[in-house]
Structure 1
Amino acid sequence: MAAPTTAPATSNGNRFLILFDFDETIIAENSDDAVVRAAPGQRLPDWLMALYREGHYNEHMQRVLAYLAEQGVAEDAIRAALEKIPPTPGLAALFHFLRAHEHDYEAVVVSDANAYFIETWLRRFGARPLFRQVFTNPAGFDGAGRLVLRPFHAHSCARCPDNMCKQVILREYLARRLEERGGRAFQQVLYVGDGANDVCPSLALGPGDVVFPRRDFPMHRLLEAAAGGGGAGGGPGPLKAQMVPWSSGEDVVACLQTLVKER
């Protein structure tokens, strides 16, 4: 399995673990789409788009990044495109809250983007120290100036894309942190996301945990369908955690404020 990128370890006393997706959760759009704007004509050729296979998005992005390199798109252009991506509405308020309550919350990113995109944006926004770890697909520039992307891991989950199951990441992280914290579990686990691949980890959470799906995005629609009995026939299973839809990071803050007061 690929090693996640890590920040300096925080205190073991944090009461809550909060996990974030990246694209369209921390940032206001898909970082892959933003980087394509650095391509000639700000678009990909039809022949490249036609090669995409459902469930193999990481493979597709490897080809996209190779194409950008062939077209002479350098690291500076890719970095500039990433740094222009705005945060989602209310994200600054949410990050401010987490900074002010760093002894209560341990924060982690779990994303199917890639390490270069996420690290570049978080550092530009001054948010990297907030996160204890970033779990994502490895990526870095080689000697020829090409951004090389690799899959995060292999897994057997039929629900998730072939390169990443976020539930596997979540379960392994919780088990490791339980050991590192001397057997003390987090009081609650919180998950903030938007996409279909955020459903799988959400289903691993328990009745005392909270899932924050971005309102009217795929994660929200799928979880609502599951709650209404739409999980039959191979769809998402039942959600045990409390669901709190959000449109702005301030919606998440309102819930977190309540948790912190409940000592």
Structure 2
Amino acid sequence: MAAGNGIVVVFDFDKTIIDVDSDNWVVDSLGLTEEFERLLPTMPWNTLMDTMMGELHARGRTLGDFAAALLAAPIDPRVPAAIRAAAALGCDLRVLSDANAFFIETVLEHHGLRGCFTEVNTNPSRVDAGGRLRIEPYHDFLRGAPHGCGVGTCPPNMCKGQVLDRILREAAAGGRKPRVIYLGDGRGDYCPALRLAREDFVMPRRGYPVWDLICEDPARVQAEVHPWADGAEMEATLLALVRRALVEDAAAAALLPLDCKLESSIPAAAQDGGMPIMPLGVKN
């Protein structure tokens, strides 16, 4: 991995790195859809997933069965390519997801991506003495105080905005304020999008809940908004934004011209302006 370049790239996991919701995928793959849908109105999602893991364990399903289901989850091949390219350029990559550690780590390891990420922020998981997978909330709202976020789109077990604040405090500990590129799809990704600064970028998946929320009141988001629809568009947009941030930061530090090796390390689609770079207010 290249030396740090001052850019933090934060990825959601479900429907961002992989093309499905990992919770639904495992439940459906292992034949528990009907039970899941029956219980869904009765408890928070995070609690429900822990309950489902208990039911699957009672039916004889093992960690190996969960892993096998996860390894079959669809992932656009351009997404791993984008992750590897951003890491190679020196970006600090983080996962921020409302899935769980076992699901995410299993998928990232399988695709050879775990080493690209500095950390995975998600709901903790563990295997108990009986061999059952337990899924716990990131914010322990069942035994402690709620996270207290007032945005209204965060689930009780995780405020991604608060987690992002902690990531940025740590990244700025060396005295250099990082630039952020945030990628996500769901309602829970709206809160962190609102916490980004003008020099940051948010990449909502077009047609998904976070995109709809941003479109309802674009003025609430300070960061530039760059939507994407599939892996190819994600890759081109992400690498174009990384290149742009590097150019702007180098210019600000009076370090231009950039090493031509940087230009050659970025895919042509990102170099030649193949993806439009525009704020949300400009229609495309």
Instruction: Compute the TM-score of the two structures, normalised by the length of structure 1.
Output: 0.84
Is the 1:116–1:139 contact (alpha carbons within 8 Å) kept by the matching residues of 2? Answer: yes
Runs of 4+ in 1 over 3 A off after TM superposition: none
Q: CA deviation at 1:10?
A: 8.9
Give the C-alpha shift of residue 54 in structure 1: 8.2
In the alignment, structure 1 residue 245 sits paired with structure 2 residue 231: no
Larger Rg computed on CA atoms? 2
Instruction: State the one-letter code of the partner of 1:131.
Output: F
Aligned-pair CA distance for 1:176: 2.5
Contact 1:55 1:162 in 2 (8 A): no
Q: Could you tell me which amino acid in structure 2 is paired with residue 170 of structure 1?
A: L
* Distance in 2 between residues matched to 1:26 and 1:214, nearest whole Å: 11
AA of the residue aligned to 1:239: V
Q: 1:51 to 1:37 in 2, by over 3 A?
A: closer
Q: Distance in 2 between matches of 1:166 and 1:55?
A: 20
Residues 93 and 253 of structure 1 are in contact (CA less than 8 Å); yes or no, is this contact kept in structure 2? Answer: no
Structure 2, unmatched stretches of 5+, are 140-145, 251-284
Q: Which residue of 2 aligns with 1:97?
A: 85
Give me the whole-angstrom Cα distance separating, in 2, the residues matched to 1:220 and 1:69: 37
Matches within 5 A, 1:65-80: 65-80=53-68
Q: Structure 1 residues 10, 138: closer, same or farther in 2, change over 3 A?
A: farther
Deviation at 1:60, TM superposition (A): 1.2
- Does residue 212 (structure 1) correspond to residue 203 (structure 2)? The answer is yes
Aligned positions of 1:22-33 closer than 5 A? 22-33=13-24
Give the counterpart of 2:46 among 58, 61, 75: 58
Question: Is the contact made by 1:227 and 1:239 (CA closer than 8 Å) also made in structure 2?
Answer: yes
Is the alpha carbon distance of 1:172 and 1:96 closer, same or farther for their aligned partners in structure 2, counting shifts above 3 Å?
A: closer
Shift of 1:260: 2.9
| The 10-residue stretch of structure 1 (77-86 or 246-255) with the greater mean CA deviation from structure 2 | 246-255
Contiguous gaps of at least 5 residues in structure 1? 1-8, 229-237
d(CA) in 1 for partners of 2:43, 2:166: 23
The amino acid of 2:34's aligned partner reads P
Residue of structure 1 in register with 2:176 after alignment: 184
State the alpha-carbon separation in 2 of the partners of residues 100 and 20 from structure 1.
16
Aligned-pair distance for 1:55?
Answer: 8.2
Match of 1:17, SS? strand
The alpha-carbon deviation at position 196 of structure 1 amounts to 0.8
Q: Percent of counterpart pairs with the same letter?
A: 35
Change beyond 3 A, Cα 1:55–1:131: farther
Q: Which residue of 2 aligns with 1:86?
A: 74
Residues matched between the structures, number: 237
Q: CA deviation at 1:194?
A: 0.6
TM-score under structure 2 length normalisation: 0.78
Q: Secondary structure at the match of 1:108?
A: strand
Partner of 2:260: none
1:50-93 Cα shifts (integer Å, max 9, x gaps): 33248821111111111111111111110011111122362033
Which structure's relative contact order is higher, taking Cα pairs within 8 Å and 6+ residues apart?
Answer: 1
The answer to whether the 8 Å contact 1:28/1:89 transfers is no
Aligned position for 1:165 = 159
Question: In 2 relative to 1, CA 208–27 (structure 1 residues): closer, same or farther, beyond 3 Å?
Answer: same
Q: Is the 8 A contact 1:38 1:77 kept in 2?
A: no
